Amino acid sequence: MKALQLVAPSELAVVDLPQPEPAGGEVRLRVKACGICGSDLHGMDGSSGRRIPPIVMGHEASGTVDAVGPGVTAWKPGDRVTFDSTVWCGECGYCREGKVNLCDSRQVVGVSCAEFRRDGAFAEYVTIPQRILHRLPEGLSFEEAAFAEPVGVALHAVRRAGEIAGATVLVVGAGLIGLLIIQALKYAGAAKVIAVDLDEGRLKLARDLGADETHLSGRDTPALSVDIAMEVVGAAPTVDLAIRSVKKGGRVVLVGNLSPSVPLPLQIVVTRELDVLGSCAIAGEYPEALEAIASGAIRVKPLITASVGLEKGAEAFVKAKAPGALKVLVVED
């Protein structure tokens, strides 16, 4: 089969690999669309230790069931599906509590690190455990379905924030996940959503997708006193802004993780008695994500920058790195 493989740090090539065979409890998918994630772009140079070559990346995907392994009865060839990016064990304490994103044996599709290596979906075929599959709603395109993973990330982050109805919420960072969180907040009943970003083009899109107020980040950013702040970058200045913008007794949800560590305005957190929460991946939000996309409650088509065939997959990564790019999809040729 054809696959877009990371063959060396920052070096991609279309290669021929053996077609994978589904093991017991697995299905083989013919991949129709797979989105390039920021973690792929940031990790492919080897700096994160999460994309050690050779590896086929890609975890935001959709496709059709091509073959099933022994013991698979719930799925059949031709079924239209997407899948959870997290491969969870189902047996540890976290899994039993429904916190599959914190699984003790957690693996991520398309990731290669010191602990595990699991090829992903920038390929014609990929094998996936049946327990993490989700059926696509009727009429939902494969390109839209490939957004189920990032939409699930947004919904999980909003869920971590607690009660949203009637709240004023600041979203710091209007990249792809930030734009999805803006929509997820409105979907959850937020009274007012304020977006802050460095790029006026992204702020315009934020307004188009439901933000009530937007501000360019910098010296002119007004002082705010919001109920909740969602930080979706993961850098020192944006974490600082999020914390300083929350009223006493408010909540800060940290979603971005661009930097491994940042300074914390500790005195503000303590004296304002703020709740500071982390949000990691997805823990059961896939069905809701698919429903929200299919119903139009969360719009993903405006976020597609380009769709590129697998044979030109390396060009897709160039497009994904371009200024202003949001989501580039690698699609079936």
Residue 288 lies in a domain: no
Residue 80 lies in a domain: yes
Look at the block and give the residue holding tokens 């600041």.
Answer: 170
Whole-angstrom distance, CA of residue 167 vs CA of residue 212: 12
Q: What is the CATH number of the domain that holds 22?
A: 3.90.180.10
pLDDT tens digits for range 107-149 = 999 999 999 999 999 999 999 999 999 999 999 999 999 999 9
Mean pLDDT over the full length of the chain: 97
Q: Which of 176, 185, 183 has the alpha carbon at shortest distance from 229? A: 185
Residues 143 and 7 placed together within one structural domain of the fold? yes
Residues 6 and 142 placed together within one structural domain of the fold? yes
Residue 294 lies in a domain: no
Residues 173 and 141 placed together within one structural domain of the fold? no
Residues 193 and 64 placed together within one structural domain of the fold? no
Whole-angstrom distance, CA of residue 226 vs CA of residue 202: 21
Given this model, what pLDDT does residue 104 score?
Answer: 97
Residues 106 and 142 placed together within one structural domain of the fold? yes
Q: How confident is the model at residue 254 (pLDDT cuts 50, 70, 90)?
A: very high
Residue 273 lies in a domain: yes
pLDDT of 219 above 90: no
Whole-prediction pTM value? 0.97
Q: How confident is the model at residue 328 (pLDDT cuts 50, 70, 90)?
A: very high
Residue 210 lies in a domain: yes
Residues 195 and 176 placed together within one structural domain of the fold? yes
- Number of domains present in the structure of the chain: 2
Residues 164 and 259 placed together within one structural domain of the fold? yes
pLDDT tens digits for range 29-53 = 999 999 999 999 999 998 889 999 9
Strand, helix or coil for residue 286: helix
Residues 112 and 140 placed together within one structural domain of the fold? yes
Given this model, what pLDDT does residue 68 score?
Answer: 98
Q: What is the CATH number of the domain that holds 252?
A: 3.40.50.720
Residue 82's Cα: distance from chain center in Å? 13
pLDDT of 65 above 90: yes
Give the residue ranges of DSSP H helices in the chain: 38-43, 93-96, 142-145, 148-160, 176-187, 200-208, 236-244, 266-271, 286-295, 313-321
Residues 35 and 123 placed together within one structural domain of the fold? yes
Residue 293 lies in a domain: no
Residues 320 and 231 placed together within one structural domain of the fold? no
Look at the block and give the residue holding tokens 């930097």.
Answer: 259
Residues 10 and 88 placed together within one structural domain of the fold? yes
Query: In terms of residue numbers, what domain contains 270?
Result: 152-278
Residues 218 and 327 placed together within one structural domain of the fold? no
Percent of the residues in the chain that have a pLDDT greater than 90, as a whole number? 97
Whole-angstrom distance, CA of residue 255 vs CA of residue 239: 10
The amino acid occupying position 245 is S
